[in-house]
């Protein structure tokens, strides 16, 4: 799968269905039939949509955790709480389960945003607030996270 790109304003209908934005659907076209996993975000009040292959890679990594350590079991339980397998229907819609809609405070107006290899689904107001809240710190964060010397990236 290629890396995903784009942020899209969308609407959720009364039944909780999201019409996948055409550019995103096109990027996901080769894997649409494999399905997706939808889960609660760890750090934000939004949802994360994992293509099935990405989810499987993550689960294989998590499966290496020692289950005889309580904190590992607690982490796995919390990380997978509320996880749902979802599919894009023939009309290009994705049904967001009610419990996840409630968790993310999703109303009618939402934002669907790529996050490298997954998609975040946000209530529009919460997304705008999260972006605004991070604006002041973004330069410092960018320098801390990405401001490594060239040799750290293998560039010579």
Q: CATH no. for residue 15?
A: 3.40.1550.20
pLDDT of residue 148: 76
pLDDT of residue 155: 56
pLDDT of residue 146: 86
Domain that holds residue 72: 7-148
pTM: 0.87
Report the domain count for the chain: 1
What is the rounded CA–CA span in Å between residue 36 and residue 52? 5
pLDDT of residue 151: 59
Q: Does the residue 156 lie in any domain?
A: no
What is the rounded CA–CA span in Å between residue 80 and residue 135? 30
Q: Does the residue 2 lie in any domain?
A: no
Per run of 10 residues, the mean pLDDT along the chain (length 156 residues) is: 88 94 92 94 95 96 95 95 94 95 95 95 95 79 78 57
pLDDT of residue 138: 80
Q: Select from 58, 7, 1 the least CA-distant residue to 28.
A: 1
Q: Does the residue 155 lie in any domain?
A: no
Q: Does the residue 153 lie in any domain?
A: no
pLDDT of residue 1: 57
Q: Does the residue 154 lie in any domain?
A: no
């Amino acid at each position: 799968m290629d890396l995903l790109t784009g942020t899209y304003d969308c609407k959720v209908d009364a039944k909780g269905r999201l019409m996948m934005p055409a550019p995103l659907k096109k990027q996901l076209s080769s894997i649409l039939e494999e399905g997706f996993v939808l889960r609660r975000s760890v750090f934000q009040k939004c949802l994360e949509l994992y293509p099935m292959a990405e989810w499987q890679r993550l689960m294989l990594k998590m499966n290496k955790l020692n289950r005889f350590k309580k904190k590992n079991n607690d982490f796995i339980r919390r990380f997978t709480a509320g996880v749902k397998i979802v599919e894009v229907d023939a009309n290009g819609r994705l049904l967001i389960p009610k419990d996840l809609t409630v968790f993310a405070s999703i109303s009618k107006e939402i934002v669907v945003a790529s996050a490298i290899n997954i998609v975040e689904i946000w209530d529009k107001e919460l997304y705008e607030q999260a972006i605004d809240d991070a604006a002041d710190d973004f330069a410092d964060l960018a320098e801390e996270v990405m401001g490594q010397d060239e040799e750290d990236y293998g560039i010579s």
